[in-house]
Structure 1
């Protein structure tokens, strides 16, 4: 009797077992397919070859590339510091550096005419109207070029130039351009002895300024 019941139940058990196996196989296949879509490294060989040979990419890959191309790269803030904008910093580094100029001139008309030439964005302009004022600014500010008038009310411009080039100040290596109304060969010789890069006859003009900048290693 028990054998008869066992024979009747066995087909049903086998059928249930087959159904369970079928469901399990279906679950495994669906899971594998999902993992493959999530991980591009699991693409099949056929898919890889198709991409390499034709350059085709899926819609998801194109969307990912577009999203990455427009993504702004920043570093995470550390200890409350602000995030660095690398694009802004790159523009700052690529922008031309301004030429820091000190014009030492006591004559008001000559000062105004010369100052107009330094209004370009190429320059960071400063001026002094006496030898004392010039020395004070040279002690506290760094310049690339000093345009120095020889005849100042309180000192000789060439003496200031000699003092500057022989000192250990922050402007000891600053280029010096002498401004004067004199064509004296002796004055020209003295200007060369104190290390002047150029000797210009006043008033300062755009053409002579361009020549002076070129001798100092800059462009107008």
Structure 2
């Protein structure tokens, strides 16, 4: 029997890899790390760190990746970590028809500040929110906020699992440090913090100072963030 697909859509720098670790640590779950990243890089010509390595490691054909996701075997659940702006050039959302979708959100100012530390072009964060909202309006799905997860990991994950129609596992709360074979080819640039983690880090309220240009990007996401925030699961 094919696994039940769990598809998480998230913007970048939004504890998305931490969430992937959480699901992968379950006994009944395999993961797919950003399977459409090469498709996005090829379609956009974006100059991301480890671009060539990423394209060499994955198919850059949309239909091929969709087929691969539907053909996975070996666990009850298959968790898919998707960065939403990867679908800026996607032909449609049909590849999600058989998946249980949820949205992971975060305060755009925090996302912009974190993403800028890794990549200069932060504008795709705007695309992520626009794409997620377009999908949500076609097909409403559970929403969780990264800050809620960090403030109350167990309660928020229990609520998420219930909304997804799956059981909660205590193993979702902690995991061994280090990289995984399932990590994407880009991991050495992006995953240093999560590789050092053994669980959800405590939530910290941080003072964020952005340049005028970065504030403009964050403001462009504000309406969509508010839309999702008002619909998020509250444990």
Tell me whether the two structures share a fold, i.e. TM-score over 0.5.
no
Between Structure 1 and Structure 2, which shows a larger proportion of helix residues? 1
Higher relative contact order (CA 8 A, sep 6+): 2
TM-score (norm 2): 0.29
